Amino acid sequence: MSTKKKKAGGLGRTLLICDPTCVLPYGHTVPALNHFRKDLGGDFDAVHCLASTGLPKEVAAEFGFDRRFTFLYNRYIPIMSPAQSNQIVNQHPAFDDDYADPFERVATYDAAGTLADYKITSDDVIFFPGADFYGVIGFLNALADAPQTERPTVYIRLIGVLEGSSPYYDDGTAQFFKRVRAASEGGLDIRLSAETPEYADLISGLTGLTTFVTPYPETSEQVPLPDGDDFTVLCAGSARLDKGFLDLFGIARESLANPPKKLGLKFVTQTLPLKGHEQWDSYTSQLYALRGVTLLDPVITSEKMHDLYRDSDIVLLPYARDVYRLRGSAVMMEAASVGRLCITLRGTAFARQVEYYGLGDLVDEPSQMPAAIRRLANGGREEMAERIRQARARFYLDVRCSYENWFRSERG
């Protein structure tokens, strides 16, 4: 990143890392704010991590986050009843007849207040580590009529999750990129990046802006592989249907019936959330009954997740091709950071990165995963350790360079 420079009047440069979707005390958003603060904050005199007002106060206090943004994604991340969510919006102090979308009105009000409270100028940077529809558009609206001296550079990292999430548009994603393009053409300095090459190319075409590729940064030192008698396959992250939970029974049963030559075999995964997935209870019971399969709670701590990575040999990612056609995988990137090869399906956006860097093995169908598991296990841990060492080094060299070049890039 660039060398520090002082604002007029002697004030230092400010970085605001904004995530209006940071509302859950578990998952990726809280650690992501922390990681980006550490990785990007060195060239700034003040760094503030801004989260949702829905994030528990004690969590925000523990990590030093500022609770700034009204939570507007309850239909996608339900943390309260619909009535409670509507009440929060309806009682918000925002008012402006120009916005037919009440969520947009609230987001714009919150963004304008943030810009004023932190005294943001053109020397400063606003960064969205995982873009969301209202968070970004709220700031674009708030900055539209600001004088040039009060227009910061806006860095938007896109991960293909919530940037199209609006109940007021038939195609929220198209509306999102239309607004970004219009704001850029209107003079706002916007810098874009995406988590995968496929998504970056799509975004560049939609916005007319050069879009960098910025996977998740390195979060851990490489951890040695375990040396026990069991080869452990980890299906990391919260269990979801689009992450292949319904494929795990067939994969595990076939793998356990034909284990590696010299090692036992174990599978570890989380279960689906209890609410809303009752129809899969029988399937979950069958999976639980397989000898060698361990099912964990739907929600676990970050510390527990790190222990699971440490105790695993490989990570299994039977992710849905349609859902992950453009998206990256946080689990794939976490596995790379810890130093674990993965097995995943061809056809997802992140499979291209797995293949290019050598971060794991690709197969065409979930039914081919048991054979891939055996190949890795029979090849031995020494061979796996050398593979991931080389792959990991190449991957994170490019990741670091991507962020450095992105933050040093010229507009457009």
Q: What are phi and psi of 346, to 5 degrees?
A: -65, 150
Q: Do residues 140 and 270 share a domain?
A: no
Which burial class, exposed, middle or buried, applies to 95 when counting CB atoms under 10 A from its CB (0-12, 13-18, 19+)? exposed
* Domain assignment of residue 145, yes or no: yes
Same domain, 30 and 98: yes
* 159 and 271, same domain (yes or no): no
Domain boundary among 150, 179, 214: 214
For tokens 């704001």, the residue is 183
- What CATH number is attached to the domain comprising 141? 3.40.50
Question: Minimal CA–CA distance to 363: which of 395, 3, 355?
Answer: 355
Whether residue 234 sits in one domain with residue 158: no
CB 4 within 8 A of CB 13: yes
Instruction: Kindly state whether residues 14 and 161 are assigned to the same domain.
Output: yes
Are 193 and 212 in contact by the 8 Å Cβ rule? The answer is yes
The two three-digit tokens of residue 131, written as one number: 């873009």
| Secondary structure in 3-state letters for 361-386 | EEECCHHHHHHHHHHHHHHCHHHHHH
Pairing assessment for the beta strands 46-52 and 14-18 based on DSSP bridges: parallel
Q: What is the pLDDT, as a whole number, of residue 279?
A: 84
Of 247, 412, 375, residue with least CA distance to 320: 247
The verdict on residue 409 lying in a domain is no
Residue 144 lies in a domain: yes
Within-domain flag for 263: yes
Edge-to-edge strand order for the sheet containing 125-128? Answer: 66-69, 46-52, 14-18, 125-128, 153-158, 190-194, 211-213
At 231, give phi and psi (nearest 5°): -90, 115
Say whether both 112 and 189 belong to one domain.
yes
Q: Which of 356, 249, 267 is nearest to 314 (CA)?
A: 267
Same domain, 323 and 203: no
Count of structural domains, the chain = 2
CA–CA distance, 70 with 34 (Å, rounded to integer): 20
Three-class SS state of 262:
coil
Residues 254, 210 share a domain = no
118 and 246 belong to one structural domain = no
Given a contact cutoff of 8 angstroms between Cβ atoms, the answer to whether 126 and 152 are in contact is yes
**Which residue is it, tokens 């950071």?**
337
> pLDDT tens per residue, the chain (412 residues)?
443 444 443 347 999 999 999 999 888 899 999 999 998 988 899 999 999 999 999 999 999 999 999 999 999 999 999 999 989 998 899 876 677 899 999 999 999 999 999 999 999 999 999 999 999 999 999 999 999 999 999 999 999 999 999 999 999 999 999 999 999 999 999 999 999 999 999 999 999 999 999 999 998 899 999 999 999 999 988 889 999 999 999 999 999 999 999 999 999 999 988 776 788 899 999 999 999 999 999 888 888 989 999 999 999 999 999 999 999 999 999 999 999 999 999 999 999 999 999 999 999 999 999 999 999 999 999 999 999 999 999 999 999 999 999 998 777 6
Do 43 and 189 belong together in one domain?
yes
Q: Which residues contact 258 (CB under 8 A, 6 or more apart)?
A: 370, 374
CATH, residue 282:
3.40.50.2000
- Does 167 fall in a domain? yes
pTM over 0.85: yes
Domain that holds residue 135: 8-214
Within 10 angstroms of residue 144's Cβ, the number of other Cβ atoms is: 14
Both 379 and 344 in one domain: the answer is: yes
Q: Which amino acid is at 359?
A: L
